[in-house]
Structure 1
Amino acid sequence: MVNRVSFTAAVILFSFAMCLFMQDQTACAFQQSPTLERLVNEGKLPPLEQRIPQQPVVVTPVTRPGAYGGVWRRAYTGLSDLVGARRILYDPLVRWSPEFKIIPNLAYKWETDEEGRIFTFYLVRGVLWSDGHPFTADDILFYMEDIVFNKELTPTIPKWLSPTETPPKVTKLDDYTVRFEFDQPYSLFLQQLACPQGMNFVTKPKHYLKQFHKKYADPEQLQKLIEEKKASTWVKLFLDMSDIQRAMFVNPEMPSLCAWVTKVPAPARRFVLERNPYYWKVDTKGNQLPYIDTIVHELQAESQTIVLKAIAGEIDMQGRRLGGMQNSVLLLASAAQGNYVLVPKTSTASVGVLLAPNLNHKDPQMRQILSDSRFRRALSLALNRNEINKIVYRGKGVPRQAAPLKESDFYSESYEKAYIQYDPAAASSLLDEMGLKIGSGGKRIRPDGQPLRISLDVMVSIQSWVDVAEIVASNFKAVGIDTEVKSESMELFRQRTQNAEHDIAIWSGDGGLECLLDPRWYFPYSAESLQAPLFAQWFQSRGNRGEEPPADIQMLMETYNRILRTVSLEKQKELFRRIIDANEQNLWVIGIVHDPPDYYVVSKKMINVPKRDFQSWMYPNPGPIHPEQFSYTTGK
């Protein structure tokens, strides 16, 4: 039996409701930008009514309906920084509202059965890809049947799509209705669809990608494409052409459903996105979105030059690469000069920065040391968090462990405060107990007689993290641990940590609010679980790759799997408490300080930007605040 529940929200309505907003008109009328109007008049583009649904999705502007035109000026540091653009183009089947709640989007409603196993999605009719081809249930089935269920392309189905060993059954009920049926209840499916990975369902146009797929393509033509693209196999070709960031920003031919499409691909000096003439949303006056014509990303060699561009008034709306709290005073002092305001972003992370000791270390002696909970507790006690807070965060942060936030349903005060007191004497006592005795020069010696040396891997592009790392190294040296800071490029950092080549990695404590969606720091869950990336591989591959973790960590994994099958929030709390208690006891990662809000720089000429936002990967800001309704006061 299906429990027929439909979800709506004030920011998303249908055009029949939009008519209520339109005064002195007996029928709904839609308008488009002058640029597109000219193309229609020149016969280069179909009329607007042929490009948008009869009932388009309506977005209510934050302040007022905007004006068409303008260039949104941003900056980026290259291909590794394309996630900034990806966060702007956010249109999954269901999405996060600005309040961090699930609301409709390309699926205008859904139904779930009483067990939470069966999900039926109803797609907005008449949505077109940016090349004018219809978006239908066939595109969703193509992603599932021809990509996810193809073992050459997807050797292991991601856990977020298949929480058990049995993949979901996906059925096309008609061109605009799709049903997912799981073998067991899946409590987080809707939330997972609203997260960045949910974009996979709406970025795989079958009519375009099938030319690269062995099942559909002519063998001779496919071989020509393999040679032309310099791919080794059809699998490599297809994965390259369908990768989200490459497809959206490196290949201008890739059709899109998002508000802007690539005109000049990355990594150009001026990476340019232009409005999608087939975009399927309008404002409350019937004006097709987006308002802004183009988004230009200027290539910069380093983050500091992006800060200088912001100060000079050459950034219109951006939060990435601005230095966070490190540069907030400078940005605030220069706001009048740059003609901008700072809009706060409240982080959902448990801490702004944490330490992830590598439990998969390739040196057996170091693995034994890092896997000893006494060593991790000693590191935590050796940290002078108040000093770090005062120097790096100007006293505005909060010392704590990487525990759920107070706003979370899973908050634990005891875990938040576990071992956060500054007690180098207690730290030294634990290290002595482990047999890590002080040798000549006041430095500790490993049980095998070798000097104990620790390196802290940190990304050089985030200066506040580097500053934290330097203080941490000083704190560890004070208890006899010889410590160095390795400041690395993002590419090198990723390479070392994914291959478990680091000692201790420094990263932010994602998952403080959205604990169940991003539990990377509560147990080895994903490739981002830098405390044990090989255990995480084992978990995600269901034991086919990586390293089998010890029993206590496997217990955490099984408990999480039970949570996925549990619909009751109270039961979820009970189960997750077991994971929290284990973390409090073992301290697999070491939290330092929860940092104060970060900021967007927003030009005073730009309107419809809310007064605050969240900062999270699972809530890929600024996407949920509808960048398509950003506008300039005079079109700019």
Structure 2
Amino acid sequence: MFHTLSRALIVFIVISGIALWGSLSHAWKEAPSLAKRVETGELPPVDKRLPETPVVITPVDKPGIYGGVWRRAYTGLSDLVGTRRIIYEPLVRWSPDYKVVPNLATKWEISEDGREYVFHLVKGVRWSDGAPFTADDILFYVEDILMDKELTASIPQWLAPTGVLPTVTKIDDYTIKVVFPEPYSMFLERLACPDGMAPVTKPKHYLKKFHKKYADPAELEALVRERNSTSWVKLFQEITDMRHGIFTNKDMPSLCAWITKVPAPAKRFVMERNPYYWKVDTEGKQLPYIESIVHDLQAEAQTILLKAIAGEIDMEARHLGGMQSSVLLLANLAEGKYKLIPKISTASVGLLLAPNINHTDEAMKAILSNPKFRIALSYAINRKEINKIVYRGKGTPRQPAPLKESEYYSPSLESAYTEYDPAKAAALLNEIGIKLGPDGKRIRPDGEPMRLTLDVVVSVQSWVDQAEIVASNFKAIGIDTEVKAEARELFIQRTRNASHDIALWTGDGGIECLLDPRWYFPYSTESLNAPLYGLWFQSGGQKGEEPPAEIKNMMETYNQILRTVSEEKKKELFKSILAANEKNLWVIGLVHDPPDYYVVTKNMLNVPKKDFQSWMYPNPGPAHPEQFFYESVKK
């Protein structure tokens, strides 16, 4: 009934730089800072903190030495996405070459119909406070969080594609069985994505005191008051928030290599090594090598670039992207303070326009929902000008479509309506009743001026530059257009509430099309062209706004893909979604940008030689940051 993968996994583990410590008889080694804590009795010996068979990471260059501070920077709580890419320990994980490999699960079996998964956990893993990690922690996430209606209003779509949670059963302390009501062929891939961290970041022993089911009512009420919250539900959600919780609560136990010491959003947010981390190198040294990670709070993203050029950043990529930043980084490379690691973008396009078809103004909603209007906007955009000015001619004009490297590549969608033709744009606008007034500006069919606002985050200058060019292109055909450059927090609030006209964001899903389909149909609230339809899809129709039949059809097609084991059938089904995109052009692409870079201090080793750039592949997490180290540690 099951495919047994154990033999294949042994090979897979070796080529991916991961193994289980076998019969080797090395004595475990630990960082000097931890050895001192053992001497004082604060910590048990290292062999009592590690599993009997720890997971072994093969270093990229060579086994490292202990010590050092990893210097980074951030702009606030919403910017901690970069740190979440470092703190990456799901059940299964992406390898550096984008394959699913073991992690907290040493192996697994999958039924032939794709409904049942059995996972075998690494035995003896401990949370950062020393408590054992077992199947009970995963069951706590499912039974006491997801199945609690007060805590979870809607089940995550990635875990319940049919709207029904799988049945999760504890076979023993280190084995769980997951059974879906229908085949779910992409479950392993979804577990390897950042969302897959959720089942292994909820320590039952710690969280019970915040949960109504387990806590003494008086003690729980006291905790709510002490932490200035409004209810136990609100408090529990704040503590377990996947975006910020582990970084704002230093008491939350973790399975990751570094744990919070000074919580964000401090001026200096600090993480320190986890004394119970369950991985070692090939010499038996407990990882991580680096002592701590320090994030300095910066008001402006531009300051982070300047710090990198000055050699004050040890490894970082956020706020260093874009052609202008790359030019500055390359120009200062000769000074020898850092090296650059290329990031290969898996995005469908560097930046796209998302016209809001959930607009709260009915007249604007009707206009933005008209495919001819969106196609007119696409014809009005001078992508060659954007490529020349922003990317120095090194980008590729295209629509949001699968890349050539993808098995779903669609050349016709890639090039649809990308020619710069203001005359065609004007003709389409005239056809749908958006005509020029006596002052040369266009008037809506209801007689109101035709105005657009382009929402873009202010922290990425190259995005703002592109927005300004697009605005000038739209003005050239008579559409009064302004750019609204705003802080990321405000941008997220406006776009998730469908309060925008057109939002600009990067076009994820160029290679991982099925894992991140947000631009191919309204998959989530991050589908900024239809966030309320996306919410409807994610909540199983319980929230958001019900979409029209054509969009519902794409949603159902995607659900069929998830239930399909056949790769050929998946391709056939996804082609129909791509065809609908080519017909309707729900989102409008600009230019696929050339590679940008990580900045890495020359003193840091075991870093990748190149890396993918994607949210679903949370770089540099798959490259095992726990084995990064400094060749010479600064005292």
The interval holding the TM-score normalised by the smaller chain is over 0.9
Listed as ranges, the matches of 1:411-426 within 5 Å are: 411-426=409-424
Q: How far apart, in 1, do the equivalents of 2:357 and 2:483 lie?
A: 19
Using the TM superposition, give the Cα deviation of residue 246 of structure 1 relative to its aligned residue in structure 2, in angstroms. Answer: 3.1
Listed as ranges, the matches of 1:128-167 within 5 Å are: 128-167=126-165
> Structure 1 counterpart of 2:293, which letter?
I
Contact 1:323/1:463 (8 A) holds in 2: no
Quick one: which of 357, 360, 364 aligns to 1:359? 357
> Structure 2 counterpart of 1:259, which letter?
A
Q: How far apart, in 2, do the equivalents of 1:619 and 1:479 lie?
A: 40
Contact 2:321/2:597 (8 A) holds in 1: no
Contact 2:26/2:283 (8 A) holds in 1: no
The aligned residue for residue 202 of structure 2 is 204
Q: How far apart, in 2, do the equivalents of 1:92 and 1:503 lie?
A: 37
Quick one: which of 463, 466, 471 aligns to 1:465? 463
Cα-Cα RMSD = 0.9
The aligned residue for residue 3 of structure 1 is 3
Using the TM superposition, give the Cα deviation of residue 41 of structure 1 relative to its aligned residue in structure 2, in angstroms. Answer: 1.7
The aligned residue for residue 18 of structure 2 is 12
The aligned residue for residue 223 of structure 2 is 225
Using the TM superposition, give the Cα deviation of residue 338 of structure 1 relative to its aligned residue in structure 2, in angstroms. Answer: 5.5
Q: How far apart, in 1, do the equivalents of 2:492 and 2:438 lie?
A: 35
> Structure 2 counterpart of 1:476, which letter?
F
Are 2:238 and 1:234 aligned? no
> Structure 1 counterpart of 2:300, which letter?
E
Contact 1:264/1:271 (8 A) holds in 2: yes
Are 2:76 and 1:78 aligned? yes
The aligned residue for residue 23 of structure 1 is none
Using the TM superposition, give the Cα deviation of residue 78 of structure 1 relative to its aligned residue in structure 2, in angstroms. Answer: 1.3
Q: How far apart, in 1, do the equivalents of 2:438 and 2:631 lie?
A: 68
Using the TM superposition, give the Cα deviation of residue 321 of structure 1 relative to its aligned residue in structure 2, in angstroms. Answer: 1.3
Are 2:436 and 1:432 aligned? no
Q: How far apart, in 2, do the equivalents of 1:152 and 1:338 lie?
A: 55
Per-residue CA deviation, residues 111-152 of structure 1 (Å, 9 max, x unaligned), is: 100001000000000100000000000000000000011111
Contact 1:312/1:337 (8 A) holds in 2: no
Q: Give me the TM-score of the superposition, normalised by structure 2.
A: 0.98
Q: How far apart, in 2, do the equivalents of 1:129 and 1:544 lie?
A: 36
The residue matched to 1:617 in structure 2 has which SS?
A: coil
Contact 1:313/1:337 (8 A) holds in 2: no
Listed as ranges, the matches of 1:107-118 within 5 Å are: 107-118=105-116
Per-residue CA deviation, residues 420-452 of structure 1 (Å, 9 max, x unaligned), is: 011111111111111111102211110111110
Listed as ranges, the matches of 1:483-494 within 5 Å are: 483-494=481-492
Contact 1:15/1:28 (8 A) holds in 2: no
Per-residue CA deviation, residues 483-508 of structure 1 (Å, 9 max, x unaligned), is: 11000111111111011010000000
Q: How much identity, in percent, do the aligned residues show?
A: 67
Using the TM superposition, give the Cα deviation of residue 45 of structure 1 relative to its aligned residue in structure 2, in angstroms. Answer: 1.0
> Structure 1 counterpart of 2:599, which letter?
V
The residue matched to 1:220 in structure 2 has which SS?
A: helix
> Structure 1 counterpart of 2:483, which letter?
V
Q: How far apart, in 2, do the equivalents of 1:257 and 1:87 lie?
A: 14
The aligned residue for residue 265 of structure 2 is 267
Using the TM superposition, give the Cα deviation of residue 282 of structure 1 relative to its aligned residue in structure 2, in angstroms. Answer: 0.5
Using the TM superposition, give the Cα deviation of residue 574 of structure 1 relative to its aligned residue in structure 2, in angstroms. Answer: 0.2
Listed as ranges, the matches of 1:284-433 within 5 Å are: 284-337=282-335, 339-433=337-431
The residue matched to 2:110 in structure 1 has which SS?
A: strand
The residue matched to 2:560 in structure 1 has which SS?
A: helix
The aligned residue for residue 507 of structure 1 is 505
Listed as ranges, the matches of 1:517-556 within 5 Å are: 517-556=515-554
The residue matched to 2:490 in structure 1 has which SS?
A: helix
The aligned residue for residue 585 of structure 1 is 583
The residue matched to 1:389 in structure 2 has which SS?
A: helix
The aligned residue for residue 249 of structure 2 is 251
The aligned residue for residue 597 of structure 2 is 599
Number of residues of Structure 1 aligned to a counterpart in Structure 2: 628
Contact 2:287/2:627 (8 A) holds in 1: yes
Per-residue CA deviation, residues 304-353 of structure 1 (Å, 9 max, x unaligned), is: 11111111110000001124222111111112336101111111110000
Q: How far apart, in 2, do the equivalents of 1:570 and 1:427 lie?
A: 38
Q: How far apart, in 1, do the equivalents of 2:512 and 2:328 lie?
A: 31
Using the TM superposition, give the Cα deviation of residue 372 of structure 1 relative to its aligned residue in structure 2, in angstroms. Answer: 0.6
> Structure 2 counterpart of 1:60, which letter?
T
> Structure 1 counterpart of 2:429, which letter?
L
The residue matched to 2:259 in structure 1 has which SS?
A: strand
Are 2:613 and 1:615 aligned? yes
Contact 1:312/1:338 (8 A) holds in 2: no
Q: How far apart, in 2, do the equivalents of 1:294 and 1:334 lie?
A: 27
The aligned residue for residue 562 of structure 2 is 564
Using the TM superposition, give the Cα deviation of residue 201 of structure 1 relative to its aligned residue in structure 2, in angstroms. Answer: 1.1
Q: How far apart, in 1, do the equivalents of 2:198 and 2:623 lie?
A: 20
The aligned residue for residue 178 of structure 2 is 180
> Structure 2 counterpart of 1:12, which letter?
I
Per-residue CA deviation, residues 142-172 of structure 1 (Å, 9 max, x unaligned), is: 0000001111111111111111133200000
Q: For structure 1, list consecutive stretches of 5 or more residues without a partner in the other structure.
A: 20-26
> Structure 1 counterpart of 2:389, which letter?
I
Contact 1:311/1:337 (8 A) holds in 2: no
Listed as ranges, the matches of 1:84-103 within 5 Å are: 84-103=82-101
Q: How far apart, in 2, do the equivalents of 1:289 and 1:192 lie?
A: 26
Per-residue CA deviation, residues 448-469 of structure 1 (Å, 9 max, x unaligned), is: 1111001100000010000000
> Structure 1 counterpart of 2:56, which letter?
V
Q: How far apart, in 2, do the equivalents of 1:194 and 1:347 lie?
A: 19
The aligned residue for residue 453 of structure 1 is 451
Contact 2:239/2:246 (8 A) holds in 1: no
The residue matched to 2:138 in structure 1 has which SS?
A: helix
Using the TM superposition, give the Cα deviation of residue 564 of structure 1 relative to its aligned residue in structure 2, in angstroms. Answer: 0.6
The residue matched to 1:98 in structure 2 has which SS?
A: coil
Per-residue CA deviation, residues 203-231 of structure 1 (Å, 9 max, x unaligned), is: 10000001000000001101111111122
> Structure 2 counterpart of 1:9, which letter?
I
The aligned residue for residue 627 of structure 1 is 625
> Structure 2 counterpart of 1:57, which letter?
V
> Structure 2 counterpart of 1:495, which letter?
Q
Q: How far apart, in 2, do the equivalents of 1:594 and 1:323 lie?
A: 13
Contact 1:310/1:338 (8 A) holds in 2: no
> Structure 2 counterpart of 1:73, which letter?
R
Q: How far apart, in 2, do the equivalents of 1:155 and 1:249 lie?
A: 24
The residue matched to 1:429 in structure 2 has which SS?
A: helix
Contact 1:75/1:297 (8 A) holds in 2: yes
Q: For structure 2, list consecutive stretches of 5 or more residues without a partner in the other structure.
A: none
Contact 1:461/1:489 (8 A) holds in 2: yes
Using the TM superposition, give the Cα deviation of residue 635 of structure 1 relative to its aligned residue in structure 2, in angstroms. Answer: 2.8
The aligned residue for residue 22 of structure 1 is none
> Structure 2 counterpart of 1:5, which letter?
L
Per-residue CA deviation, residues 95-118 of structure 1 (Å, 9 max, x unaligned), is: 000111100000010110000100
The residue matched to 1:9 in structure 2 has which SS?
A: helix
Contact 1:187/1:565 (8 A) holds in 2: yes
Contact 1:109/1:122 (8 A) holds in 2: yes
> Structure 1 counterpart of 2:187, which letter?
F
Q: How far apart, in 2, do the equivalents of 1:338 and 1:543 lie?
A: 55
